[in-house]
Structure 1
Amino acid sequence: MQSRQRVFSGIQPSGNLTIGNYLGALKNWVAIQDDYENYFCVVDLHVLTVPQDPKVLRQKIREAAAIYFASGIDPEKSVVFRQSRVSEHAELAWLLNCIAKVGELSRMTQFKDKAQKGGADSASGGLFDYPVLQAADVLLYNAHLVPVGEDQRQHLELMRTLARRFNNLYGETFVVPEIFVPKSGARVMALDDPTSKMSKSSSAPGSYVAILDDPDTVRRKIRRAKTDSGSEITASPDKPAITNLLDVYAAATGRPVSEIEARYEGKGYGDFKKDLGEVVVETLAPIRERALELLDDPKELDDLLESGAERARKVARPTLRYAWTRMGLD
């Protein structure tokens, strides 16, 4: 019998996972392992909404999985798996497609933003349909809670709409999930543009610190990070660059921003960024080391992922079959 609430979350294996992914998501996943029943997925099907180099994608999937485990996600406490290895995700997505409305999907801001860049007529059907697969990911496990950033809030609302609609049409089947706001977590902005969120898919390597960056690269990126006019190391709306760096320092060390501000009172940006570089190196070094060990041992990584997929299937398969029955497909 399920005694704890379920959490489902995942990260796309595209680009290079960053310190933003760690401080904003992975660190929090590790922290909640004893309090919730967790399903953490490498959402590799979602990546296919735009063309991928197969060789690069294979490597990025492995990197993402290795970083999950290296960050401290315990396969004994949490279920970690690849989305594409549990076919029920795609099957449930089709069932949900049949109750989703074109108008609803057309209003998704993320699709409109991405399609606008390349032209809506050339956007893939997968990109348009992305939120339905995302809904299937969560509803398949009857997850109660979904940690999401602001950019995904609209998708979660659609997910809730689809769960309620299915339940109204066919009888109570799915849990209607709620947004999960962790007690702590940083929204890390780009090092070269503090008005934009740090992106693992950015074409500008200097805009992010990748979890697998070597220590010298980390120090260099922090040293070159954009700062504001003036020299005071204080967090304020008119100093977005230094505020971002203070938030990274605070999230990495667990210290309040006010304490860090006091420590650097009267000091310059150079001293602060030098110390921040060491803080970030110290935070990421053990994760990088363990991830590289796992990447050098393909069998261990594959075994961990396959074990997680087996556990995921044991929950996903009955949920899908129940949905079949409700719809008359049994």
Structure 2
Amino acid sequence: MNDVVLTGDRPTGLLHLGHYFGSLANRVELQDKYPMYVVIADYQVITDRDVPGQIQRNITGLLLDYLAVGIDPDKVTIFQHSAVPELNQLLLPFLSLVSVAELSRNPTVKDEIAHSSQGAVNGLMFTYPVHQAADILFCKGTLVPVGKDQLPHVEVTRLVARRFNERYGAVFPLPEAMMGERPLLKGLDGGKMSKSRGNAIALSATEDETAALIRRARTDADRLITFDETHRPEVANLLTIAGLCLGRPPQDIAAEIGHRGAAALKSLVTEAVNEFLRPIRARRREHSEADARRILAEGNERARERAITTLQEVRAAMGF
């Protein structure tokens, strides 16, 4: 069986620099090596919030970000979770293959519950790992690019696939996690980089917006700029961002700035980020919202064709 990659994002806002270096750049490389499905996981938005927010606007923005960074819809199937009912129907038989205790022990579910904005945890939160298993297995995904925090979800998917195969016959491959060297960028306020916290540089931000965000970034009072992730994490984070954008070691950039202080550091980071994002911003302007809707409709159709075939195999194996 040929390898197939499954990856995706929840449409909760615009993608930012952390997303680019953490996953998007890797997807651009992978699209030339493997068949790839990219899910815009709109149903998963309501796992940890009461309402989905500006869901259609976020979906369109997400797709425009994909096009801007170089994800090619002629090579990649980009689709919307809720537009593929056959994928979501796989959730029912898959849920019968895991216990409540196994879902409750999932460390990613525990973490999501701890950071949920809801007053009470809903049932969808507990089924979240199984829903992700359906995302991966509907297309017979074998490779799943993930960070360390998502490894438990891949393990649940492997568990579901193995138990289904043992109970009903061999239908699904056992997917493998793809762990890459992903730089962890913090937000400009020193916390976790997040779309909702206003501490991230959106890929679609203007040059002026980018400059304003970096001016507000936390640093410290020491004028000598050094790269010290332990004792000077905010300064180290800015140096890391500049290093990624310039393709240079952050230590070299720190030595170049020397005693010129935080103002010089922020000026260098601003120019590095804006220079890096110029071609991405230019590509984004080449596409309209109508382009995004057309591409998504075509991707939904291809994904649904694949999901129908898989669901038919599942029902036949189960004797339905």
When normalised by structure 2's length, the TM-score is 0.91
Question: Structure 1: which 5+ runs fail to align?
Answer: none
Compared CA separation, residues 224 and 312, structure 1 to 2 (3 A): same
Compared CA separation, residues 186 and 117, structure 1 to 2 (3 A): closer
Question: C-alpha displacement at 1:214, in angstroms?
Answer: 1.7
Matched, 1:276 2:285: no
**Where does residue 208 of structure 2 map in the other structure?**
216
Q: Deviations over 1:164-195 (max 9, x none)?
A: 1212222221111111123x5322112112xx
**Where does residue 10 of structure 1 map in the other structure?**
8
**Where does residue 40 of structure 2 map in the other structure?**
42
**Where does residue 76 of structure 2 map in the other structure?**
78
How far apart in 2 are the matches of 1:114 and 1:156?
16
Q: What is the 5 A alignment of 1:192-207?
A: 192-193=189-190, 196-202=191-197, 205=198, 207=199
Q: What is the 5 A alignment of 1:1-330?
A: 3=2, 5-49=3-47, 50-52=49-51, 56-116=54-114, 122-182=120-180, 184-193=181-190, 196-202=191-197, 205=198, 207-228=199-220, 230=222, 231-294=224-287, 297-329=288-320
Give SS of 2:155's match.
helix
Question: C-alpha displacement at 1:103, in angstroms?
Answer: 0.7
Compared CA separation, residues 124 and 292, structure 1 to 2 (3 A): farther
Amino acid at match of 2:194: S
Question: C-alpha displacement at 1:285, in angstroms?
Answer: 3.4
Q: Is the 8 A contact 1:16 1:201 kept in 2?
A: no
Compared CA separation, residues 160 and 228, structure 1 to 2 (3 A): farther
| Number of residue-to-residue matches in the alignment | 318
Question: Structure 2: which 5+ runs fail to align?
Answer: none
Give SS of 2:8's match.
strand
Q: Deviations over 1:75-119 (max 9, x none)?
A: 112111212212222111122111121111111233333434569
How far apart in 2 are the matches of 1:119 and 1:271?
38
Question: C-alpha displacement at 1:263, in angstroms?
Answer: 2.9
Q: Is the 8 A contact 1:44 1:82 kept in 2?
A: yes
When normalised by structure 1's length, the TM-score is 0.88
How far apart in 2 are the matches of 1:301 and 1:118?
30
How far apart in 1 are the matches of 2:216 and 2:263?
10
Compared CA separation, residues 235 and 142, structure 1 to 2 (3 A): farther
Compared CA separation, residues 271 and 120, structure 1 to 2 (3 A): closer
Question: C-alpha displacement at 1:31, in angstroms?
Answer: 1.9
How far apart in 1 are the matches of 2:234 and 2:261?
14
Q: Deviations over 1:273-322 (max 9, x none)?
A: 2111111122223333433553xx33321111111122222322212211
Aligned residues: CA RMSD:
2.2
Question: C-alpha displacement at 1:47, in angstroms?
Answer: 0.8
Q: Bigger shift: 262-271 or 303-312?
A: 262-271
Give SS of 2:90's match.
helix
Give SS of 1:268's match.
helix
Give SS of 1:146's match.
strand
Question: C-alpha displacement at 1:143, in angstroms?
Answer: 1.3
How far apart in 2 are the matches of 1:236 and 1:67?
30
